[in-house]
Amino acid sequence: MTDTSGLLREPWDNFERQRSAGKFGIWVFLASEVLFFGSLMLTYTVCRIDHPEAFAAAGRATNIWYGTINTAILLTSSLTMAVASQAATVGRVFRRLVIWCLAATASLGIAFLVVKAFEYKEDIEKHLVPSAGFALHDTGAQLFFGLYWLITGVHAVHLIIGIVLVSRLALLGYLQKLQIGEAPEIEVTALYWHLVDVIWIFLYPLIYLPGRAS
Amino acid sequence: MTDALLTGDLPLPPRPDYLRHGVTLKSWLITTDHKRIAILYAITITIFFFMGGIAITLVRLELLTPNGWLLTSDTYNKLFSFHGIVMVWFFLVPSIPNTLGNFLLPLMIGAPDVAFPRLNLFSWYLTIAAGVLTVYALIAGGVDTGWTFYTPYSTMFSNSHVFAAASGVFVVGFASIATGVNFIATTHMLRAPGMTWFRLPLFVWAIYATSIVMVLATPVLAISLLLVIAERWLGLPIFNPANGGDPILFQHLFWFYSHPAVYIMVLPAMGVVSEIIPCFARRRIFGYDFMVYAMLVIAGIGFFVWGHHMFVSGQSPYANLIFSFLSFIIAVPSAIKVFNWTASLYRGQISFEAPMLYALGFVGLFTTGGLSGLFLASIPVDVHVTDTYFVVAHFHYIMVGGSVSAFFAGLHFWWPKITGKMYPESWSRFAAILMYAGFNMTFLPQFFAGYLGMPRRYHTYPPEFQIYNVMSSSGAAILALAYLLPLGYLAWSLYYGERAGKNPWGATGLEWTTFSPPPPKNFDWQPRVDRGPYDYHAEGQSAGLDPPEVQNARGVL
């Protein structure tokens, strides 16, 4: 039996209970996040039903390579995150693996943002920011890109928060300040990370695939 | 002997309660004690309440005459917008959940604190930050969109501080979500041994149902405001018709939050009243299970009626029919609650202390507001009264007559627990009756003015409506006095009030078994529960007589 007394926080008198409350709390929060992104996707859906042609044309104007590479990066980061989370449950045996996987997850998150930055730069050069000099002329194409900037921007903010949380855990683990087997933070952070990833899996076809099949 | 030991009645060494546990300002600002955070919230929302109140005082003064004598139309628009924004998001939404809920939820379930105490404090700081943004919007020149931020006016035409005001509401939404997550986790994980789900006091159920609505609806409000901000600030066109956008889409997103938000405001009020009526009627609540299910059903169906705010927006007539039908349906659980409160009084030993007066006032005003809601759910009537004072009167009956009455009811009922002092009874009864009278005088004429066709949100009006507006404004003066009175006598009672014992009302519920005010960790012993709530008399019998000391305290003898 490992000592968990150092991890016990107010108001709990039982560490297992505290741990499950943490998990339960993050699940409730994720439900809230689903509605957050859900309403953005709903807005997208309504606009797309109004302007199917313009959305197809605008979808073709995105750079599918950046999007696909980023999807691969983010899926891989979820793998490393899942490995870290699972390895942590075993305890100190896999301490190095946990830290490496956390570091890899954060790095992949940063890689995603770097690719995204290149994509944003290209979009700006191609005048894909809604304004007077917008590149596409179909009515509704500006709606697509308005939502594109907003949704990917909000997603990036979520990812940055995730990177900060994961890096913090990696650092604390490296400094021996994290009780890897017991601390609930790794699993809670992992759940958040996976949600950000799952949202991207929905965003990828919505943003990059319209208008490409035919 | 063992009984005295179990209930903690043996003399204990004196130790500070939660109020005297630390006296510095810092000890308040970094506290994670749910009771102190409740006090912080109470101070905050009181300030916002009077800010919103001053704004509407000017509006009501202006409406004394038909032609506008005090304000320009521009200032008028900004004042009622500020009133709406502040009262909805900085007073009503946090009012009962964040003050009474924060204070009582852990006490009622026998827990030492909420599940995530630091998140609780963080939520208060978010509220403050959001409040600063909103007040900045006012000081910088105000916002004139109304509290609803309707597009395309808010995105394309308004020259006021929409950005700051919308950001304020955006941020306060996250405070709301954090509180909701916290309360749900607390109710699930921290109930004392024996406190099963169907032994929970109805107030806990109400806070739980409210939290679910907060967690699931508020993110949609955040997105609707984020889209407005993005369109104004970054020029990303979502609602601009010139780019193919749909301004009505904003209304759908906005009301998907803002209709459930009505239940965020009124469900906790129902919870408060469900505690008070049994206590002052000395009766078990009638139909406990139905009360629980009714609240959950209201919270659930509340998500599917938002379209009744949009009957005249040009949405499909089939959508109108369905939204109308669902809006009628939601009256059923609401009526179950009203009938059950009334039935709880039957064969009771009723006494009329101030909390009971406020609570009975709630039942009457909520019923009036709810019945007028049925008029609005009916499409033909709604088309006639859309955007008139009929609507204004209807939602004030629910939100002010209902929620604010219940807030005052709860404040008086638990005041001895929160402060350890009794409030002055005669003054409080006077204020309660004054509030009821003032409220009806303010808002009843608005039903008539609205039905006769007086539109809302104009600062001039045809002279034939003046009689109603003069009545309304004079009622508002009485109402203002009734709101100021408690501020005075409750502050007085802090210093000169009689000391309150553990349980001055002889009420059931775990919060009454600990000291008044409670110690920092709420209970000096582990509370255990072996019976249901509202155990005022043996099941199947009428209310019996209380022990003499309780009768004495309640003035029955």
- In angstroms, the CA B518 to CA B17 distance is 6
Residues of B in contact with A31 (CB under 8 A): 215-216
CATH number for position B360: 1.20.210.10
Structural domains in chain B (count): 1
Q: What is the 3-state secondary structure (H, E, C) of B435-493?
A: HHHHHHHHHHHHHHHHHCCCECCCCCCCHHHHHHHHHHHHHHHHHHHHHHHHHHHHHHH
pLDDT for the residue A132:
85
- Predicted confidence (pLDDT) at residue A29 exceeds the cutoff of 80: yes
Average pLDDT over residues B31-38: 96
- B519: which chain A residues are within 8 Å (Cβ-Cβ)? none
Q: Is the pTM here over 0.80, yes or no?
A: yes
- Per DSSP, B86 falls in state I
**Position A184 confidence tier, pLDDT thresholds 50, 70, 90:** confident
pLDDT band of residue A6 (cuts 50, 70, 90) is confident
Task: Give the pLDDT confidence score for residue A105 in this predicted structure.
Answer: 97
DSSP state letter for B550: H
Which of A26, A202, A40, A110 shows the shortest CA–CA distance to B238? A40
Chain A residues with CB under 8 Å of B220 CB are: 35-36, 38-39
- Confidence band, pLDDT 50/70/90 cuts, at residue A3: confident
Residue positions counted in chain B: 557
Q: Do B177 and A31 touch (CB under 8 A)?
A: no
pLDDT above 90: residue A8 = no
Q: Does B247 touch chain A (CB under 8 A)?
A: no
Look at residue B538 in the predicted model and tell me its pLDDT.
83
Task: Give the structural domain span for A81.
Answer: 13-208
Confidence of residue B1 (pLDDT cuts 50, 70, 90): very low
B443 contacts B407 by C-beta, under 8 angstroms: no
Mean pLDDT value across chain A: 93
State yes or no: pLDDT of B6 exceeds 60: no
| Per-residue pLDDT band at A177 (split at 50, 70, 90) | confident
Residue B244 has pLDDT above 70, yes or no: yes
Q: Does residue B128 lie within any of the structural domains?
A: yes
Flag whether A1 is in a domain. Answer: no
User: What local confidence, expressed as pLDDT, does residue B336 receive?
Assistant: 97
Residue B553's pLDDT band (cuts 50, 70, 90): low
The answer, yes or no, to whether residue B4 has pLDDT greater than 60, is no
For residue B143, is it left (φ>0), alpha (ψ between -120 and 50) or beta? beta
pLDDT tens sequence across B306-335: 999 999 999 999 999 999 999 999 999 999
Does B29 score more than 50 pLDDT?
yes
Tell me the C-alpha distance between B278 and B413, whole Å. 12
Residue A4 lies in a domain: no
Residue B546, pLDDT > 90, answer no
pLDDT value, residue B557: 43
Report the domain count for chain A.
Answer: 1
Is the pLDDT higher at B13 or at B419?
B419
Residue B104 lies in a domain: yes
A154 — contact with chain B (CB < 8 Å)? Answer: yes
Residue B547 has pLDDT above 70, yes or no: no
Is residue A23 included in any domain, yes or no?
Answer: yes
* Residue B23 pLDDT: 87
Is residue B543 very low, low, confident or very high in pLDDT (cuts 50, 70, 90)? Answer: confident
What residues of B are in contact with residue A142 (Cβ under 8 Å)? 237, 243-244
Q: Which domain holds residue B509?
A: 33-548
Task: Check residue A214 and give its pLDDT.
Answer: 63
Q: Indicate the residue of B116, B224, B237 with minimum beta-carbon distance to A142.
A: B237
CB neighbour class for B540 (10 Å; exposed up to 12, middle 13-18, buried from 19)? exposed
Distance from CA of B47 to the nearest CA of A (A): 29
B185 contact A CB<8A: yes
Q: What pLDDT does residue A71 have?
A: 97
pLDDT, tens only, A126-168: 999 998 889 898 889 999 999 999 999 999 999 999 999 999 9
For residue B402, pLDDT over 90 is answered with yes
Residue B20 lies in a domain: no
B256 touches chain A (CB under 8 A): yes
CA–CA dist A99, A170 (Å, integer):
5
Cβ contact, residue pair B219, A24, below 8 Å: no
Decide if B506 contacts B431 (C-beta within 8 A).
no
Alpha-carbon torsion (A10, A16, A19, A20), positive or negative: negative
Task: Give percent of chain B above pLDDT 90.
Answer: 88
In a domain, B22, yes or no: no
CB contact under 8 A, B215 and A46: no
Other C-beta atoms lying within 10 Å of the C-beta of residue B232:
17
Q: How far is A139 from chain B (nearest CA, A)?
A: 6
Amino acid A14: pLDDT: 86
Model pLDDT, residue B542: 75
pLDDT for res B11 = 58
- Residue from B56, B44, B50, B55 nearest B123 by CA: B44
Q: Out of A25, A39, A47, whose CB is closest to B220?
A: A39
Q: With 60 as the cut, is the pLDDT of residue B526 above it?
A: yes
A9 has pLDDT over 90 = no
CATH code, domain carrying A73: 1.20.120.80
CA distance B382 to B516: 49
What pLDDT, on a 0 to 100 scale, did the predictor assign at position A126? 94
The percentage of residues in chain A with a pLDDT greater than 90, rounded to a whole number, is: 78
Contact A149 B234 (CB under 8 A): yes
Amino acid at position B71, single letter: L
Q: Which of A20, A31, A39 sits opposite B223 (nearest CB)?
A: A39
Q: Do A11 and B190 touch (CB under 8 A)?
A: yes
